[in-house]
C-alpha cells in the first residue's frame, strides 16, 4: 500500500510539473494557446512561433527544471544530514562564495571575454569555500556538522560584506549587473550550459538515490546509524561535497534563487513523509515545478518587463514557510 501511495504522489507531482511546463510555454509577451504549443513541440509551427518556443522559452524551462531540482535535492540531503529542517544549500556559505566570484567578475568586466567566465568565477568562489570548509572540518579526522554549519554562516556574512564592498566601488552598469544577478535569473544562459545543467540534474538525482538508505539511517542519529553498519564519517564527507558542488553550480549559472532548497523539501516532507526513498524524487519534481512556475510568473506579472525570479521565490517561499511555522507542530524534522 505504501508503494502505491508513493506512486500516486510521484504521478501527481509529475502532472504538476507538466502543467507548469505547458503554462510556461504558453504565456508571455506573445501568448500561444496551450493546445497550439503541444502541436508546435511535436509537429512544428510558424518560424516565429517555433523560435519563441524552442529558442526562448524552452531553454528557460529546462534550466528551471535543472536548477529547481538540484537545489531541492541538495536541500533534502543537507536537512537529512544535519537533521535540521532549517538547513538549506545556501546556509553553508557556498552561495556567498559564488556570489563573491561573480560580483568580482562583473566589477572587473571579465564577462566581456566570454559567456563562460561568469559561471567559472562563480565556481571558483564556491570551490574556495568548499575547500576551506572541508579541510577545516577534517582537523580531527571527523566532520563536526554543527561547527561546519557555523563556519558556513560566518563565511556567508563575510562574503556578503565583500560583495557590498565591490558594489560600492563598481560602475553603475556593473552595479546593475551584480544586483540583477544576485536576485536570480533563468534567462540569458548559454545553451551549452543549459544542456550541461539538465544532464547534471538527472545524474545528481540518480547519485542521490545511492544514499537514500544511509540518510534514513542518519535520521535516527549517528550512533544508531553506525550500529546499522553505515560508514557515517565517509557518508557525511561525500554528501557535503556532493551538495556543495550542486549548490555552487546552480548559483554560478542562475544566481541567488532563495527558498527553493528550504521550503520545497520541508513542504514535500509533510506531504509524502520522511522516507528518503520517496522524498528525494518527490522534492526534485516539486522543486522543478516550483521554479518553472515562479520564473513564468516573474516574466508575466509586469510584462513586458521581467522580475528577477528570486523575488518570486522569496515572496512565495517565505509566505509558505511562515504558514507552515504557524500551524500546529511547527517544523517537521528530517
The angle, 0 to 180 degrees and rounded to 10, between the axes of the packed helices 145-169 and 94-108 is: 20
Q: What are the cell numbers at 296?
A: 513564468
* Per-residue pLDDT band at 203 (split at 50, 70, 90): very high
Measure the CA–CA gap between 16 and 14, rounded to whole angstroms.
Answer: 5
Which is more confident, 140 or 126?
126
DSSP secondary structure string for all residues of 271-282? HH-S-HHHHHHH
Region 258-278: mean pLDDT is 90
CA distances (Å), origin 305, targets 28, 75, 255, 297, 300? 11, 31, 19, 12, 8
Contacts of 330 (CB under 8 A, 6+ apart): none
What is the chain's mean pLDDT, rounded? Answer: 84
Q: What is the pTM of this model?
A: 0.89
Write the pLDDT tens digit of every residue in 89-130.
Answer: 877 788 888 888 888 888 887 766 766 787 788 888 888 887
Region 203-208: mean pLDDT is 94
CA distances (Å), origin 187, targets 3, 123, 130, 197? 38, 19, 27, 14
CA distances (Å), origin 131, targets 93, 152, 231? 12, 12, 22
CA 30 to chain centre: 28
All structural domains of the chain, each given as residue ranges with its CATH number in brackets, are 32-326 (1.10.3470.10)
Q: Is 57's pLDDT higher than 50?
A: yes
Contact present, 184 and 310 (Cβ < 8 Å): yes
Q: Is 334's pLDDT higher than 50?
A: no
Q: If DSSP codes are grouped into helix, strand and coil, which group holds residue 316?
A: helix
Most distant pair of Cα atoms in the chain: their distance: 64
Region 187-191: mean pLDDT is 76
Q: Is 224's pLDDT higher than 60?
A: yes
* Per-residue pLDDT band at 61 (split at 50, 70, 90): very high
* Per-residue pLDDT band at 320 (split at 50, 70, 90): confident
Q: What is the pLDDT of residue 302?
A: 81
Q: Is 328's pLDDT higher than 70?
A: no
Amino acid at each position: 500500500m505504501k508503494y502505491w501511495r508513493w506512486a500516486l504522489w510521484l504521478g501527481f507531482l509529475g502532472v504538476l510539473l507538466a502543467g507548469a511546463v505547458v503554462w510556461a510555454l504558453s504565456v508571455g509577451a506573445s501568448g500561444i494557446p496551450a493546445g497550439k504549443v503541444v502541436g508546435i513541440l511535436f509537429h512544428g509551427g510558424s518560424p516565429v512561433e517555433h523560435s519563441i518556443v524552442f529558442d526562448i522559452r524552452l531553454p528557460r524551462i529546462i534550466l528551471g527544471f535543472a536548477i529547481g531540482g538540484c537545489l531541492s535535492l541538495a536541500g533534502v540531503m543537507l536537512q537529512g544530514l544535519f537533521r535540521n529542517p532549517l538547513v538549506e544549500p545556501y546556509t553553508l556559505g557556498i552561495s556567498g562564495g559564488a556570489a563573491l566570484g561573480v560580483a568580482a567578475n562583473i566589477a572587473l568586466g571579465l564577462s566581456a571575454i566570454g559567456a563562460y567566465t561568469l559561471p567559472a568565477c562563480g565556481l571558483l568562489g564556491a570551490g574556495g569555500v568548499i575547500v576551506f570548509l572541508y579541510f577545516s572540518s577534517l582537523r580531527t579526522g571527523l566532520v563536526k556538522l554543527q561547527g561546519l554549519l557555523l563556519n558556513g554562516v560566518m563565511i556567508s556574512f563575510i562574503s556578503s560584506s565583500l560583495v557590498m564592498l565591490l558594489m560600492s566601488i563598481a560602475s553603475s552598469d556593473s552595479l546593475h549587473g551584480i544586483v540583477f544577478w544576485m536576485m536570480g535569473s533563468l534567462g540569458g544562459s548559454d545553451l551549452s550550459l543549459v544542456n550541461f545543467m539538465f544532464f547534471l540534474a538527472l545524474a545528481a538525482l540518480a547519485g542521490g538515490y545511492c544514499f537514500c538508505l544511509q540518510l534514513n539511517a542518519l535520521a535516527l542519529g549517528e550512533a544508531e546509524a553506525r550500529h546499522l553498519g553505515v560508514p557515517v564519517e565517509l557518508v557525511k564527507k561525500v554528501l557535503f561535497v556532493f551538495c556543495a558542488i550542486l549548490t555552487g553550480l546552480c548559483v554560478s549559472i542562475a544566481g541567488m534563487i532563495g527558498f527553493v532548497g528550504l521550503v520545497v523539501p520541508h513542504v514535500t516532507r509533510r506531504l509524502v513523509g520522511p522516507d528518503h526513498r520517496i522524498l528525494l524524487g518527490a522534492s526534485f519534481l516539486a522543486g522543478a515545478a516550483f521554479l518553472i512556475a515562479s520564473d513564468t510568473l516573474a516574466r508575466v506579472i509586469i510584462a513586458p518587463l521581467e522580475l528577477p525570479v528570486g523575488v518570486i521565490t522569496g515572496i512565495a517561499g517565505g509566505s509558505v514557510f511562515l504558514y507552515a511555522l504557524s500551524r500546529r507542530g511547527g517544523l517537521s524534522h528530517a
